[in-house]
Structure 1
Amino acid sequence: MMTRPHATPPGADALPPRKPSRSATREAVKVWGPVVLLAAIGFAVAWSFVEPAPPAVVRIATGPDGGAYRQIAERAAASLARRGIEVELRATSGSARNADLLRRGEVDAALLQGGGFAEAGGAETLQAVVTVGFEPVLLVLRRQGDAPVVPVPLPAAAGLAEDARVAVGGAGSGTEPLARRILAGLLREGAEATPRLRVGGDAALGLLRSDDADAAFLVLAPEAPRVAAVLADPGLVVASLPQAGALARRDAALAAVTLLRGVVDPSRDLPAADVETVAAATFFAVRDDTHRAIVQLLVQAAREDATPDLLADAGTFPTLLHAPLPIADEARHFFERGPSALYRHLPFGLASALDRLAILLLPLLTLLIPLARAAPPVLRWRLRRRIYRWYTRLRAIEADAEAGHAPEGLRERLAALDDEAADTEVPLSYMEEFYNLRMHIDLLRRRLGEPGPRTAGVSGGNGRRSADAAPS
């Protein structure tokens, strides 16, 4: 056991108190400094790869106010709002306009209609996220004479007259390009070049009723009030397309569907008979550089939208099928695997931050942990090496004493060595070697004729004071 330090002998010069040791601090800085520096460099490099935070406001291009696209977007906005994301809905003329806004970066996401916009080919920057439903293509004709009000077939042989006045939808809508694609399949080659009426919606129906148009294309969700109004109008009739399956086979943007009798309004038996037609997929789309958090939110919103689709069986939507654009990788991953544990158990903002910062684990695992494990042994080795250097200096002083050097100079060198050792903090694992050094310094001091130790005595491993180890 260690003994308490002895007081300074009477008459001996009192030594000034020692200042707190800074040697261990300097050693720690020398060892831990490079560790902290390398870790900081690793974090700085990793930070450059950290994905930016998702935008505070998500802008979604919808369609005309009151339309089906607007309703779908409003339900998605409600889902995003529950996760703390503000949504700005932008009303447009339709799918073609939506695609244009999305390509130019004026919106973050858009609802598009399969075949309802011009694709950019190999340079296309748009990607599909998830398909949320079908919109049937309705070819509305003016009822002739005593023709039945129920949907009538449109045989391929009869088709439409080459000079027929057909309202194909307004400019910027998704109806126009879709109607032209269908007409290209129904009419003889070259007939589709006949100028069409670029009018849609209620304006197109007005032209039909006033005998200023022979047919009109409508692309609407079956739930839209306009669909029921058309089916109930005695002056209009919806054509059934027996060629729907063939059109869908020839055009990947179309799917053959059947508007079942009474599905629009069972109480009024609308439609009064099955209507065979084609439908376009309605899907969310983003750019290829859109933040992946937006993609995840749109997929999740589509999953939460439980609105039934009148053209498909339950569980058909949402789906990754039917969209004419390539599916975003993040959408496919999120759709198939669902949200991660972070998003299931944490608020979206916090989960997104942790997800983005996960890349910072790379420098932590590859640099900081190995360096942190290596630093303490390095620090101990440096302190132990210092003890060995002190012994080297002590041995040199002893050799000079045996060679007959002046004791005054040797005592000064010995005192400097003792002061340096006393001012150094040594780990407990090396205290035995440190105490042995202090005893040997005291032993050599007595051999040089100094009356007593300049510092408080220390005890060796056997519990005796260092002075006891010195010869009398």
Structure 2
Amino acid sequence: MGSIKQDIKETYLGLYETAQEKWNDFTQFLIEAWPILTILLLVLLGVWWYADPPPPRHVVMATGQPGGSYDALGKRYAAFFKAKGITLELLSTNGAEDNIAHLADRKDPVQAAFVQAGTFHPHDVTGVQSLGTISYDPIWLFYRGQELRVNDFQEIKSRSHFFLNSKMSVGQKGSGTHAQAMHILKANGFDEGAHFIYLSGSKSVEALKKGEIEAAFIVDAYEAPNVQALLADPNLHLAAFPRAEAYSRLLPYMQILNVPTGAFSLPRNFPATDIKLMASTINLLIDDRMHPALQFLFLEAAREINGKASFFSEHGEFPSFKNTGLSESPVALHYEKNGSPLLMTYLPFWLAELINRLIFVLLPFCALAYPILLTLPGYRNKRMRRKIDGLYITLKTYEGELTLNFPPEAKDSYLKKLDLLEYEALQLKVSRGLSSDYYALRTSIDYVRNCLNRGVHPYQAREDLSGV
């Protein structure tokens, strides 16, 4: 037992001494190499700052008309960003056309916007990318009077003429509602009617309830106050889209929404039969220069806010990356496949973003510093060996001078030179691998000193001493 304990103790002491030796060598290396490592780190930090600057703390986002559903959605996004330490400023606009114009203008501060699919031509838009779609925007056509039932194409055509000859709101020009209404009319072969008026969503609701107009297009979410107000009014009817499949072929961005009997109101049994509605989707568009960290934050906001189950969407259905109309951001492509960076899941946004950016520096730093860390200790040993060799050369010079010509009065002078040489040797801080060379130098210095102290003419040749 004693032998085993002794072996364990010796093994432990060996490991401890080895670790201590390596640590001492490493600290000595850092003392000597820190200027080079500091310069390297500063250079990489400079490259990092310019190549990957920190994300701005203030972002401007275009939403929609004040009081509308986009405005309300924008406020939820702003609250999400505020919790992450970022200020999201909301800019009210007249609608989709304004939002696209803001994003496409390279000098405009707007960096993000909600835009309905189908309200812009992708080929006419540059510098704008998509972070996916985040919600459905159903197309609602409410009207007053007798309910029109549809049985065949001729009745559909006559119903269309009814709306064209009625006083109908088709949305404020420049808005998504107006764009979608015009797409539907043109798909049916109609142009704008002479009695069309262009009201905002809230004004359309007010006018329709008061009987000032006969019909109104509203493109908004099911939960929107304007839509809920019209659905709750028993004096109003909702036009369905029985030819929804045809619309989805002619207008590929359109989505078909199925509404079962009584889904809007069971007491009223509204609608009275299963119906189909058409819907656009809300695109989350960004300036393609937006910082990647902010793009991930927008996607996380979309997942948390729009990813919940709603009347028309299932849990986790949004954000979606289908039929976006514009090219997807590389960040969105990464998010679609891998989700958010792991650090953003467990750490505060600012800390996760800082660590993520520091990796950009630390990896190159380690890649460059590691060869230096391997090279410099060998260089240091060579430098120490050169110093030892230099002291040896000096000692050899002294010894040569003493051999050729040694006046007795020079003894004290040479002893002082040897003392100074030994002092220089004592100032050397060498690794354990050079200890033998180091102590061999000191032994040689002491040997020359002993020769000087042996007596008169210690370095004079023996034949020269015979005549003394």
TM-score (norm 1): 0.77
Equivalent positions of 1:318-467 (< 5 A) are 318-404=319-405, 406=407, 412=413, 415-416=416-417, 418-423=419-424, 424-427=427-430, 428-448=432-452
How far apart are 1:257 and its partner, in Å? Answer: 2.1
Aligned Cα RMSD in Å?
3.5
Q: Aligned AA for 2:115?
A: L
Residue 38 of structure 1: how far off its partner (Å): 3.7
Alignment match, 2:69: 68
Question: In structure 2, what is the equivalent of residue 289 of structure 1?
Answer: 289
Look up the match of 2:131: 129
Q: Which residue of 2 aligns with 1:168?
A: 170
Amino acid at match of 1:349: W
SS of residue paired to 1:253: coil
Q: 1:297 to 1:262 in 2, by over 3 A?
A: farther
Deviation at 1:246, TM superposition (A): 1.3
Q: CA deviation at 1:224?
A: 2.6
Q: How far does the alpha carbon of each residue in 1:188-231 deviate from its partner, in whole angstroms, 9 at most, with x for none?
A: 5xx45979532232434566678875643211212234334434
Separation in 2, partners of 1:36, 1:141: 74
User: Would you say the 8 A contact 1:32–1:375 is kept in 2?
Assistant: no
Matching residue of 1:260: 260
Note the alpha carbon deviations across 1:91-136, whole angstroms, 9 max, x for none.
33323222233334333322221123x3362652222213222111
* Aligned match of 1:114: 117
- Superposition deviation, residue 399 in structure 1: 2.5
Give 5+ residue unaligned stretches, structure 2: 1-26, 457-468
Measure, in 2, the Cα distance between the counterparts of 1:28 and 1:79. Answer: 45
Distance in 2 between residues matched to 1:391 and 1:208, nearest whole Å = 106
Change (3 A) 1:62 1:249: same
CA distance in 1, matches of 2:98, 2:139: 19
Letter in 1 for 2:197: L
Distance 2:84 2:440 in 1: 67
Instruction: Indicate if the aligned counterparts of 1:31 and 1:378 stay in contact, CA closer than 8 A.
Output: no
Deviation string, structure 1 residues 236-291 (Cα, Å, up to 9, x no partner): 43322223211211222211223333323334333333332311002322111112
Q: Secondary structure at the match of 2:239?
A: strand
Aligned-pair identity (%): 29
Inter-partner Cα distance in structure 1 for 2:274 and 2:318? 22
* Letter of the 2:245 counterpart: G
Aligned partners of 1:302, 1:208: CA distance in 2, in Å? Answer: 33
Query: Which structure's relative contact order is higher, taking Cα pairs within 8 Å and 6+ residues apart?
Result: 1
Q: C-alpha deviations, 1:371-391, integer Å up to 9, x for none?
A: 123222322221122212222
Cα deviation 1:37-59 (Å, max 9, x = unaligned): 34433443344322x22222333
Structure 1 residues 327, 225: closer, same or farther in 2, change over 3 A? same
Stretch moving more, 426-435 or 409-418: 409-418
Q: 1:168 to 1:449 in 2, by over 3 A?
A: same
More helix, by proportion:
2
Identify the residue that residue 19 of structure 2 maps to in structure 1.
Answer: none
Match of 2:279 in 1: 279
Note the C-alpha offset of 1:160.
3.2
| SS at 1:160 equivalent | helix
Relative distance call for 1:342 and 1:317 in structure 2 (3 A) is closer
CA distance in 2, matches of 1:288, 1:27: 46
One-letter code aligned to 2:310: D
**What is the DSSP-based 3-state SS (H/G/I as helix, E as strand, rest coil) of the residue aligned with 2:51?**
coil
* Pair 57,269 (structure 1): closer, same or farther in 2 beyond 3 Å: farther
* Distance (Å, rounded) in 2 between the aligned partners of 1:140 and 1:451: 125
Q: CA deviation at 1:353?
A: 0.8
Report the residue type matching 1:370 in the other structure: P
Structure 1 residues 195 and 418: CA distance shift in structure 2, 3 A: farther
Q: What is the correspondence of 1:154-233 to structure 2 with a 5 Å cutoff? A: 157-158=157-158, 160-161=160-161, 166-188=168-190, 191=191, 196-204=196-204, 215-233=215-233
Contact 1:151 1:275 in 2 (8 A): no
Provide the rounded CA distance (Å) in 1 between the counterparts of 2:187 and 2:453.
118
Change (3 A) 1:421 1:238: same
Distance in 2, matches of 1:435 and 1:371, equals 29
TM-score (norm 2): 0.77
Map Cα deviations across residues 18-70 of structure 1 (whole Å, 9 max, x no partner): xxxxxxx99988755444434433443344322x2222233332223443223
Measured against aligned partners, the alpha-carbon deviations of 1:373-413 in whole angstroms (never above 9, x if no partner) come to: 32223222211222122222222332333223556568646
Distance 1:330 1:185 in 2: 35
The separation in 1 between residues aligned to 2:28 and 2:260, in whole angstroms, is 85
Q: Distance in 1 between matches of 2:184 and 2:378?
A: 78
Kindly indicate whether residue 147 of structure 2 is the aligned counterpart of residue 148 of structure 1.
yes
Distance 1:209 1:123 in 2: 38
Alpha-carbon spacing, 1:415–1:44, altered in 2? closer, same or farther (3 Å): farther
Separation in 2, partners of 1:440, 1:103? 81
